[in-house]
Amino acid sequence: MTEIVHMNKLKINISRLNDMLEQLSVIGRDEQGGITRLAGTEADKEARDLVVNWMKEAGLNVFIDRIGNIIGFRNGLENIKPLMVGSHIDTVISGGKFDGSYGVLAGLEIIMTLNDNKIKTKQPIALCVFTNEEGVRYSPDMMGSLVYANGLSVKEALRSINNEGGTLGQELQKIGYAGDARCGLYIPSHYIELHIEQGPILNMERIDVGIVDSLQGILWKEITILGESNHAGTTPINYRKDSGLAAANLILFLRHLCEKVGGGQVATCGKIRFDPNQINVIPGKVIMTVDLRNSDEAKLNEAEQLLDDYLSEVSNVESFNITSKILVRLHPIAFNEFLVSLIEKNAQKLGFTYRKMTSGAGHDAQMMARICPSAMIFVPSVDGISHSPLEYTPSTDIENGANLLLHTVLELANQDSVT
Ligand code: HGY
Ligand code: MN
Ligand code: MN
């Protein structure tokens, strides 16, 4: 007699989930207390091996596709399109323990909870760990899901080069995750991603969960400014072509650009490299990145145009040789209304306070939305901090988010109209 727990009372096992989060967070832990688990590295391999192990213990059929995405498959009562949950386990440098890992491990936890209660769903459930979501060593970010959604060829993705000159393909081989399954093997009926908000809103407004109905557009550019290296002591100010000064002015301009464009426009110079990078040499070359984001496509285009106009003006007026190349260009997206309302219905059923919201961060759901109805659930990030060792979400919120995912998946995977 299968022990039927009343569905509405079903809950995940929070101590098991916390324990998995803790165990995974040990891998790549650095001296600042942050986690550095960059795509394709030994730490990435160790984390992948641990999660694959857990997937197998949970009875999932696990396979790896050609871009290294890990897919764990739980059979349903019917052989129809799977419902997919997932996220990523690669991190930024000295990142936090929840970004990505939470969505993967909560997906695993809901499967373990279904197993514990001997619950079979009509639809199969797929749990996916996407490769290189962060894009720290290989551009673009959200790479594994972009390939899965047919937005980038697997060949091109495998050829992407890291700062040390190696390719992602070589590194996936080295860590044993150069899979042979075709990318995008299963087009899921729906994709739901549970993630920390990574911003301040839910925490500030004391709201339990966020129901994410949209995600802003992202533009990454790499800009190279060529000036003239020269002696820091003997070169009079008006004889200089100081690419470091040009870079500093550009970073200042980015702030004005945000004020001019408005509508929540953000701009970040996150990476900058001076050449020859010596204390007593005027930098002759600067390579820097610009990350522009806006939830409004027209405003993102306006921001890009303002940046390009500024760069050509500086080139002409101050005769620097400035070139730029686009690393990532992802449109803003709206998530699936049916899914958003289903998540909302389950948040009400579980008695959670909630609000609809857009995502400032990029996520794999942004790519999966290209091929199937997708949506996201957020839980609060204390003080809105993320991509930092200080990233933190209390256990109650971890549990709330996972229970909301559990009940949404349960309802979705047993509905009638799945094709
Ligand atoms: O860049 C992003 O928003 C994500 O963390 N990859
Ligand atoms: Mn993430
Ligand atoms: Mn991230």
| 136-172 per-position pLDDT tens digit | 999 999 999 999 999 999 999 999 999 889 999 999 9
Span from the CA of 262 to the centroid of ligand 1 (angstroms):
21
State whether the beta carbon of 217 lies less than 6 angstroms from ligand 1. no
Give the model confidence (pLDDT) of 5-61 as tens digits: 567 789 999 999 999 999 999 999 988 899 999 999 999 999 999 999 999 999 999
pLDDT above 70 as % of the chain = 98
Band (pLDDT 50/70/90 cuts) for residue 419 is: very low
Ligand nearest the Cα of residue 88 is: 2
Q: Which helix H or strand E contains 209, and what residues bound it? A: strand 209-215
The answer on pLDDT for 350 being more than 90 is yes
The confidence score (pLDDT) of residue 415 equals 83
Ligand nearest the Cα of residue 136 is: 1
Can you tell me the distance from the alpha carbon of 183 to that of 367, in angstroms, rounded to the nearest whole number?
13
The confidence score (pLDDT) of residue 5 equals 54
The domain defined by 2-216+332-413 folds into: Aminopeptidase (3.40.630)
> Among the atoms of ligand 1, which is closest to the Cα of residue 135?
6
Q: Which residues pair with 266 in a beta bridge?
A: 293
Band (pLDDT 50/70/90 cuts) for residue 1 is: very low
Other CB atoms within a 10 A radius of the CB of residue 130 amount to 32
Alpha helix stretches (DSSP H) within 232-273: 243-261
Strand, coil or helix: 232: coil
For ligand 1, atom 2, which residue shows the shortest CA distance? 362
Span from the CA of 5 to the centroid of ligand 1 (angstroms):
38
The answer on pLDDT for 340 being more than 70 is yes
Ligand nearest the Cα of residue 361 is: 1
pTM: 0.92
2 or 289, higher pLDDT: 289
The answer on pLDDT for 2 being more than 50 is no
> Among the atoms of ligand 1, which is closest to the Cα of residue 360?
3
State whether the beta carbon of 391 lies less than 6 angstroms from ligand 1. no
Under 8 Å between Cβ of 186 and 84: yes
Region 319-331: mean pLDDT is 93
Give the model confidence (pLDDT) of 56-107 as tens digits: 999 999 999 999 999 999 999 999 999 999 999 999 999 999 999 999 999 9
pLDDT above 90 as % of the chain = 94
Give the domain ranges of the chain: 2-216+332-413, 217-330
Can you tell me the distance from the alpha carbon of 271 to that of 326, in angstroms, rounded to the nearest whole number?
15
> Among the atoms of ligand 1, which is closest to the Cα of residue 92?
5
Backbone angles phi, psi at 329, to 5 degrees: -140, 105
Can you tell me the distance from the alpha carbon of 105 to that of 17, in angstroms, rounded to the nearest whole number?
7
Ligand nearest the Cα of residue 37 is: 3
Chain mean pLDDT for the chain: 96
Q: Kindly report the CA angle at 220 between 88 and 222, in degrees rounded to 5?
A: 120
The confidence score (pLDDT) of residue 38 equals 97
Select from 98, 132, 134 the residue to mutate for testing ligand 1; criterion: most ligand atoms less than 8 Å from CB: 134
CB within 8 A of 244, min separation 6: which ones?
Answer: 227, 274, 282, 283, 286
Give the model confidence (pLDDT) of 370-385 as tens digits: 999 999 999 999 999 9
Can you tell me the distance from the alpha carbon of 89 to that of 15, in angstroms, rounded to the nearest whole number?
20
Can you tell me the distance from the alpha carbon of 269 to that of 167, in angstroms, rounded to the nearest whole number?
25
Q: Where are the beta strands (DSSP E) in 147-251?
A: 190-196, 209-215, 217-226, 230-231
State whether the beta carbon of 134 lies less than 6 angstroms from ligand 1. yes
Span from the CA of 122 to the centroid of ligand 3 (angstroms):
33
The confidence score (pLDDT) of residue 319 equals 81
Under 8 Å between Cβ of 375 and 155: no
Select from 142, 197, 364 the residue to mutate for testing ligand 1; criterion: most ligand atoms less than 8 Å from CB: 142
3-state helix, strand, coil in the chain (%, to 5): 35, 25, 40
The confidence score (pLDDT) of residue 417 equals 57
Q: Which residues pair with 379 in a beta bridge?
A: 196
The confidence score (pLDDT) of residue 103 equals 98
For ligand 1, atom 6, which residue shows the shortest CA distance? 134
> Among the atoms of ligand 1, which is closest to the Cα of residue 293?
3
Note the CATH number of domain 217-330: 3.30.70.360
State whether the beta carbon of 141 lies less than 6 angstroms from ligand 1. yes
Give the model confidence (pLDDT) of 194-237 as tens digits: 999 999 999 999 999 999 999 999 999 999 999 999 999 999 99
Residues with CB under 5 A from ligand 2 (ion): 99-100
Region 297-304: mean pLDDT is 97
